[in-house]
Structure 1
């Protein structure tokens, strides 16, 4: 697609952003203003017009879905594949960098990545060990995540406190958590970004390598960057200044994860000479909706002022009802749904009800059932959060990395093999005393015969099982999953639905390696 064709259908502000030459550019894109179109067209222009290879454009967004959609759109524009491209989430991009260069920080490149469930499991274990109320684990995990997003290390947090109260306990948990991750050669998602920033700060030669590799930096949903993410893109872009950031301070949705909208406000200070373009024409909503939302958000004093407009009709009026109790709200919502349905224009499947937290669904469901209105709840447990799926994945992770303590704790007695809490406690003590992983502690117990023969026999069987599974490292992920299920006898006592879930896991893993 030519430069002229890429401009077709763009409004004047979108076209100005597309044609902006080298140097920093901040695009303040109001809701529904076509920001994805601008950033994908910019990518296409760089590759087709400026002949910049995809491997030289560092492009980040916030979700895998958004990254895949961006790739699809770009492919349709340039009629070519994106071999070697760097388009993905902050986490996936940092994972890619660390797999290549993390050895400079003393980690091995085959590190495992702990998801939220793994983090919670490890933090609960540490809380029990430190005799801190275990039910606090979610709050502790959230605080640690916020500290990492702000680039605060355990040592910095410990030295900043007064040595008393909950923060002192939190600091101890944070230190133990990072020590345990390091011992397991594991990172959590926050570490991916924090350690990449640290890598660049402590090793200028590595930073320079990536600065030279990436001639352009494109950032989507810039308003949702936290301090660590902003530091990352600032380090990469500060050399050449070719950064194209698209965001809207009115739409920040990740503040609970440490997102700092002030990054948008600081952008002009950190990148002198930046050009700012506002996209205010809306293609999604009617003017009535824009007027209502605009009048509310205008009350925020810490924002870049924008006035969204559309060339569509004013549309229906926005109705707001304040009802005394949630049961009355549910009755009103259901009555409105039924009234709309009875007019014969829309079916029930054309309507949706949004609520803030899952707890609020109960009264709405009850009201829908009373009226005989069919419905379905969107969401629920993720496929990868199901116990049987997590168990098999834990076996695979242990196969790749014997030092993954979280995975070992999960499957050492799954399926049941007679290794109870007393034996696990003995293994934990040996591990802690000698500063080694749980797997190495089991090996040592078996070698020195420092337990009863019955326990040693059970542990020896487990060691041989893990060692046997480790031979699958070079197999495809689907073959490895099948072998794990067969070697462990995992599926023997499972109900049919759970066996089907494992089959689905194998199918989804086709064509992938275990590392992926």
Structure 2
């Protein structure tokens, strides 16, 4: 066995107090009880350790705390609104980062624990690398982030999955369907990545190509990958386009529901009518003609959970939901007693269950070692919290979205999650898809002019594709009095149809549904 191993593997060491450093290192960390008990300092140190591990830079960790205390999994039973969307299982991440890619040098003779674990799967700890496999190959067992390497390596992810298999050395992706920017994102080397994908730039194509690349080119086990779409329609479209039974695409809610069903015995998912029936038994009697008073509580229930709000604050901010804080707790207690869940509870309860059960959390984290997320800009705080829990401790999330296209702000979606992506997923690489393949050149120019007025955004280009229709008449703004707008729209549509246009090529958008009646 070669100590400390090839420099490009970036292996570090864990030592006891007073031990000399076994080699030169770029980063040094002291883990003592003072650090463990200081939440702010611990978060800062773990962030630096994560970036060091992600960048494969050698570190030396001086370990001055009881290893058994570090191993203890976190059990969190706090109300979710006290945690917030940026909560992370920082002590579990610390334990992972101490040992993920570091030699155990505490007793003088270095031990590479990944080699020992590989031996349990049929390898032999000897030779000039870490182990010798059954076919006589000398290979390294890599504890760093999974990425293409010019060495014979077995990824620690494979070892955790019970597989002693060599990591592939991927060929370059050759596809006529990807432009250079899309290809760069697809071939992202390792760790988290933010892909800013402007309208019509092929974000879904890029995400699906990345999913195939991980499995077909890099050899990542399909069971370690989960791709998430924002809604069922998008998930179904992605499944159809991918046409692969071995790869997993689901919505955030279906993911939450799968977690809930693993814990609860045959739970029932309520539709809105069932939710209303329960609320009618709980809300104060305030019948008002022509007002849907139950609807106010429905809205507040959703807002409180999606935004991770304190139910007391929700009640204080509104005048139409008296007693809501008490209703919130009574309603959720009843759901749990009767094995019920509503739409938002699928995610909210899943987060609570994951935080309260380290065993459940570990099982689902293994299924999300590589997490790909579409429409990242529309994540609400509860969605983000779920994803960060599942992606821990590696926080390996490939997020695709456009902060200029946030449409669920009313539900708590915040473009800052995408803008400040690196704070949530340390060491994240950044990619940008700027070419619009969908729209005419004048439409792209107008859209660019509009979104540049957004105050908080990621600076980006927005350009039409080569050969895009650039006739000025492709984008025509007409101003009419409100009373005439619908008639003018009908006339324009009829004009297009009379000139040979097809109805399915025409889209009509309006602010309220009543405007569509004459059409």
| TM-score of the superposed pair, with normalisation by structure 1 | 0.62
The structure that is strand-richer by fraction is 2
**Is 1:356 the counterpart of 2:511 in the alignment?**
yes
CA shift in 2, pair 1:99/1:164, >3 Å: closer
Q: Which residue of 2 aligns with 1:64?
A: 232
Give how far 1:187 is off. Answer: 0.7
Q: Deviations over 1:334-355 (max 9, x none)?
A: 2222323333x22455434222
RMSD: 2.4
> For 2:419, which of 265, 270, 278 is the aligned residue?
265
* 1:141 correspondence with 2:270: no
Match of 1:123 in 2: 279
SS at match of 2:360: helix
Paired residue for 2:323?
169
Which segment is superposed worse, 159-168 or 57-66? 159-168
Equivalence for 2:489: 333
What secondary structure, in the 3-state scheme, does the structure 2 residue paired with 1:246 have?
strand
* 1:319 Cα deviation from its structure 2 partner: 1.7
Aligned to 2:245: 81
Task: State the distance in 1 between where 2:360 and 2:177 align.
Answer: 41
Q: Which residue is equivalent to 1:448?
A: none
Question: Is contact 1:115–1:188 with CA below 8 Å preserved after alignment?
Answer: yes
8 Å contact kept, 1:223–1:261: yes
Question: What is the aligned partner in structure 2 of residue 374 from structure 1?
Answer: none
Counterparts of 1:150 and 1:347 in 2: how far apart (Å)? Answer: 43
**1:35 aligned residue:** 203
List runs of 5+ in structure 1 lacking aligned partners.
Answer: 103-107, 366-516
Unmatched tracts of structure 2, length 5 or more: 1-169
**Superimposed CA distance per residue, residues 296-319 of structure 1 (whole angstroms, 9 cap, x where no aligned partner):** 111111111222112123134322
**C-alpha spacing 1:338/1:231, structure 2 compared with 1 (3 Å):** same
**Matches of 2:513 and 2:202, distance apart in 1:** 31
| Residue 224 of structure 1: aligned partner | 378
Distance 2:353 2:504 in 1: 50
1:387-398 alignment, distance < 5 Å? none
Q: By percentage of residues, which structure has more helix? A: 1
Asked if residue 197 in structure 1 is aligned to residue 351 in structure 2, the reply is yes
Q: What does 1:367-378 correspond to in 2, within 5 Å?
A: none
Check whether the contact 1:6–1:45 (CA below 8 A) recurs between aligned residues: no
1:445-486 deviation digits (Å, cap 9, x = unpaired): xxxxxxxxxxxxxxxxxxxxxxxxxxxxxxxxxxxxxxxxxx
The 2-side partners of 1:272 and 1:174 are apart by 35
1:11 aligns with 2:179: yes
Does residue 315 of the first structure (1) align with residue 477 of the second (2)?
Answer: no
Give 1:34 deviation, angstroms: 0.5
Change (3 A) 1:125 1:320: farther
Residues matched between the structures, number = 345
Runs of 4+ in 1 over 4 A off after TM superposition: 2-6, 129-134, 159-168, 347-350
Task: State the TM-score, normalizing by the size of structure 2.
Answer: 0.62
2:360 matched residue in structure 1: 206
Residue of structure 2 equivalent to 1:380? none
Question: Structure 2 vs 1, CA of residues 49 and 323 (structure 1 numbering), >3 Å: closer, same or farther?
Answer: same
User: In structure 1, the residue corresponding to 2:253 is in which secondary structure?
Assistant: helix
Whole-Å Cα distance in 2 between the matches of residues 359 and 173 of structure 1?
Answer: 35
User: How do 1:214-253 residues align onto structure 2 when only pairs under 5 Å count?
Assistant: 214-253=368-407
Closer, same or farther in 2 for the Cα pair 1:291/1:209, shift >3 Å?
Answer: same
Q: What do residues 60-114 of structure 1 show as CA deviations (whole Å, max 9, x unaligned)?
A: 1111121122122222xxxx532xx4310001111112211x3xxxxx3211111
1:65 and 1:165 map into 2 onto residues whose CA distance is 36
> Offset at 1:158?
3.0
Q: Is the 8 A contact 2:232 2:251 kept in 1?
A: yes
Superposed displacement of residue 250, structure 1: 1.3
